[in-house]
Structure formats: structure tokens, C-alpha cells
Amino acid sequence: MTSAGRFAPSPSGEFHVGNLRTAILAWLFARSTGRRFLLRVEDLDRARAGAEEEQLRDLAAIGVTWDGDVVRQTARHAFYEQAIVRLQAAGLTYECFCTRREIQEAPSAPHAPQGAYPGTCRNLDPAELEFKRSTRRAAIRLRADVGEYTVNDVLHGQFTGVVDDFVLRRNDGVTAYNLAVVVDDAGQGIDQVVRGDDLLPSTPRQAYLASLLDIPSPEYAHVPLVVNSDGVRLAKRDGAVTLKDLAAKGFPAAGVRDLLLESLGLPPGPLGHALAAFNPAALPRAPWVWHAP
Ligand SMILES: [Zn+2]
């Protein structure tokens, strides 16, 4: 399979300029390295009717093109289950019956990093397991045998982060993001992952899981987010931040594209022009502060 990069939005609402900037970067990283560029809709959770169509239209409007058909996670349940069965067979999973509150209130294990699952259900004996199964539906957790894992990132260098017994399948039956993303990237032949740097902390979990499934780690590039004037990650409440809002203010999609390219130190115009000037090492490393034009 040829190598590929990707953009993988959740269809939870309209894109804002921060999402579009990340999409442009993912496209530039892929195209500048001769990769295919794939689009995956991460619709396992929080999908809003009509959002996918709006998002695809916005990508097209700023010139982000993709190869092949759009892949949707809701069509890939069987692949997630295959991965879980494989991990189960290797003794690498267990059932967890904890509520969110129980996890928050549980004393953490010695030396466990903050926020890590305390391991409450890791070693239930058969009687406890039987009783708990009668009271609550289980989530499936990974039985991790490391506490941290290191990944390489084009922009961040070596990054070491927490690996705990994270959830693979939630107790409502929905596949957890960390599993789906690993299975999907492998299934689509994706060997380059460019996304917002808010996802860097969970990347060691994904890379560790990939190693357990004999999947090579992709090249990672976690790019800076767009923030509002208070330094907080941009959101819809920050005013005119979508292509639709900006068009209503007389600012067309091509103008937004050029503004985003300028924020990356790249020349305006069709993305193909920016491609020639694109150099990951020269990218700004700080969040970009959005000021509505
Ligand atoms: Zn538990």
C-alpha cells in the first residue's frame, strides 16, 4: 500500500478557522512528501446531522482535496472488534465496571501519574467478576505493561507520555477513540499523522497500542492550535470563526485560506503555490492568535 497522510474530523459541528488551518497543514505535510491524502470522518460519537456535508464543502472551498472515498468510522465496527478479540486472546484486556465517579474518587496507585486509571478492576477474582457483571455492563480496558511510552514527533522531537490501562470499548459499546484511531490509520495505510497538538498527550497510548497489534508507528506532527485573544483554544463562541460567518461579513473562502497561509509563513493563493514553499522546520511553533478580519 502506498503511504498516506490524513485529516480525520469529528462531524460534531461546523469547522472553525482552527480546524481549517490544521487541515491545510495535514494536506501540505502529505502532498509535500508525495503521500496520498485521505479523509476519515470520526463519527463514532457526537455526530451531528448535516455536519459532515458542511465540513466537506468547507474543505473543498479552501482547496483541500483528498484521494479516494471518505471513510466513516461507523462503517468499521468489525475491524475494531477484531482488534479487541486479538488483544483479548493475548490476555491484554480486562473488564472494568467503574463509574467515572468511582475512578475519580479511587485512591491512585503508588507512583501512578495523575489521571491514570487506578487499576481497580485489573485483578478481580472470579466471584467478584461474576457479581459485577450482574450489576453493570463492563467497559474493556487494555492491560498495559508499561507506564509510559515514547514517540517521535516532527515538531516536538521525542515525547514521552503516560500509558495507563485505557479504555478500548466503552461500557455503552462504543469503541474508544484511542483504539479506533490506531485500527483506522493502519487499515487505511496511513503512515503520517498530522493533527492538533492537544492530541499529543494521548499519542503514546496510541503508539503503544499499535505496537501490541504489530502496527508500525506513523510519523507524527502535532501542530499548534489556534487560540482566541485570551489564549484559549478557539471555539464557536469566539464570534465569526466559520467560513459561513466570515462570508456573511464579506470575507470569502479564498481570503480565509490566504490568511491561514500567511499565519504559517506561506504565500497566498491556491494551496499548490504554498506547497513549493512549505518547510516543516520553518513552521511557527506557538499557537496562532485569531483576530477576526
Ligand atoms: Zn474498573
Per-residue pLDDT tens listing for the chain (293 residues): 579 999 999 999 999 999 999 999 999 999 999 999 999 999 998 899 999 999 999 999 999 999 999 999 999 999 999 999 999 999 999 999 999 888 888 776 666 666 789 899 999 999 999 999 999 999 999 999 999 999 999 999 999 999 999 999 999 999 999 999 999 999 999 999 999 999 999 999 999 999 999 999 999 999 999 999 999 999 988 999 999 999 999 999 999 999 999 999 999 999 999 999 999 999 999 999 998 87
Q: 84-138 pLDDT, tens per residue?
A: 999 999 999 999 999 988 888 877 666 666 678 989 999 999 999 999 999 999 9
Tell me, in angstroms, the distance from the centre of ligand 1 to residue 102's CA.
8
Task: Copy the grid coordinates of residue 35.
Answer: 503521500
Annotated binding site for Zn(2+): 96, 98, 117, 121
Asked if 89 and 24 sit in the same domain, the reply is: no
pLDDT of residue 13: 93
Tell me, in angstroms, the distance from the centre of ligand 1 to residue 98's CA.
4
| The residue to which cell 497522510 is assigned | 5
Annotated binding site: 6-10, 42, 96, 98, 117, 121, 177, 195, 236
Instruction: Name the strand (E) or helix (H) holding 157.
Output: strand 157-162
**Do the domain assignments include residue 278?**
yes
Number of compact structural domains in the chain: 2
Supply the CATH number for residue 126's domain. 3.90.800.10
List the domain range (segments joined by +) for residue 238. 4-69+224-289
Tell me, in angstroms, the distance from the centre of ligand 1 to residue 8's CA.
30
Asked if 39 and 100 sit in the same domain, the reply is: no
Tell me, in angstroms, the distance from the centre of ligand 1 to residue 145's CA.
17
Asked if 58 and 92 sit in the same domain, the reply is: no
Tell me, in angstroms, the distance from the centre of ligand 1 to residue 124's CA.
9
Tell me, in angstroms, the distance from the centre of ligand 1 to residue 88's CA.
17
pLDDT of residue 1: 54
Tell me, in angstroms, the distance from the centre of ligand 1 to residue 121's CA.
4
From CA 174, how far away is CA 188, in angstroms rounded?
Answer: 21
Asked if 87 and 38 sit in the same domain, the reply is: no
Q: Taking a C-beta distance cutoff of 8 angstroms, is the pair 11, 47 a contact?
A: yes
Q: 61-88 pLDDT, tens per residue?
A: 999 999 999 999 999 999 999 999 999 9
Tell me, in angstroms, the distance from the centre of ligand 1 to residue 284's CA.
42
**Residue after which a domain boundary falls, among 116, 149, 177:** 177
Asked if 85 and 8 sit in the same domain, the reply is: no
**Do the domain assignments include residue 205?**
no
19 exposed, middle or buried (CB, 10 Å; 0-12, 13-18, 19+)? Answer: buried
Residues lining ligand 1 (ion), CB within 5 A?
Answer: 96, 98, 120-121
